[in-house]
Amino acid sequence: MEKSKIINYWDKRADSFSKNKRAELKSTHAQKWITEISHITPIKPGMKVLDIGTGAGFLAILCSEQGGDVTGIDLSPDMIQSAKQNADRYNHDIHFQVMDAETLLFNDETFDLVISRNVTWLLPNTTLAYQEWLRVLKPNGTLINIDANYGQDSFTDYQSLNADHAHHTLGNNMLVESEAIKQSIPINHQPRPQTDIGILKHLGVNDIHLDTEIYLRIYSEQDAFYNPTPIFLISVTKS
């Protein structure tokens, strides 16, 4: 899959995605996410945070609210524009940049926390991505990756979701396009999170925390933000 197709898809989704993320910021989900992150590493004032695949800036804004010095990157220029608008809306000074998650333009050991949500499934080279994320992490810094085994589900078969779910606003053409992108990414044909853990071990990371119960806490009800595919959370501390 050419990355231009991925960029084009998310550019088209930027407006509706941004509206959904603004609503999520006002929902009980926002506090749930901060609670989960804080259990792993509390965000302290001045802490340097990198939000990979920031989208409309949801996690970036949450981390900034906790006092973090936040940078958010995304491959989609329209998403970055939405993120900037949302940060301004909530009066947060966040550094947003268009950047490839597999080729980070930051120096080694720059960030205290590197965090990502629902991004790895879109990356053609998962090993390179994890390698880059670990590279820009400070010693004793934390990497948190939240994703799901989306390859086992079909995005065109979510009819059972509540009518107010964001997925229903996409239309069939966008769902088909999303499914085609997903099928073109190698990680989506591998078992997850086992493959992720194998990659991290190959990169020399031994202290790996895996949480496969997080979806029960975050998605305890089928609201507009419900994810029908069970998410997992992987966190590591860089030695």
Query: What domain range includes position 197?
Result: 3-237
Q: What is the pLDDT of residue 170?
A: 63
**Distances from the Cα of 61 to the Cα of 2, 50, 207, angstroms:** 30, 11, 28
The residues pairing with 70 across neighbouring beta strands, listed in sequence order, are 49
Q: What is the pLDDT of residue 161?
A: 46
pTM metric for this prediction: 0.93
CATH value at residue 9: 3.40.50.150
Structurally, the chain folds into a number of domains equal to 1
Across the chain, the runs of DSSP E, i.e. the strands, are 48-52, 69-74, 95-98, 111-117, 137-148, 208-211, 231-237
pLDDT of residue 228: 83
Show the tokens assigned to 50: 């990198």
Q: In DSSP terms, which residues pair with 52 in a beta bridge?
A: 73, 116
> DSSP for 143-197?
EEEEEE-GGGS-TT--TTS-TTSGGGGS-HHHHHHHHHHHHHSGGGGS-TTHHHH
Residues of the chain under the 50 pLDDT cut: 158, 160-165, 168
pLDDT for 176 equals: 84
Q: Quick one: DSSP state of residue 220? A: S
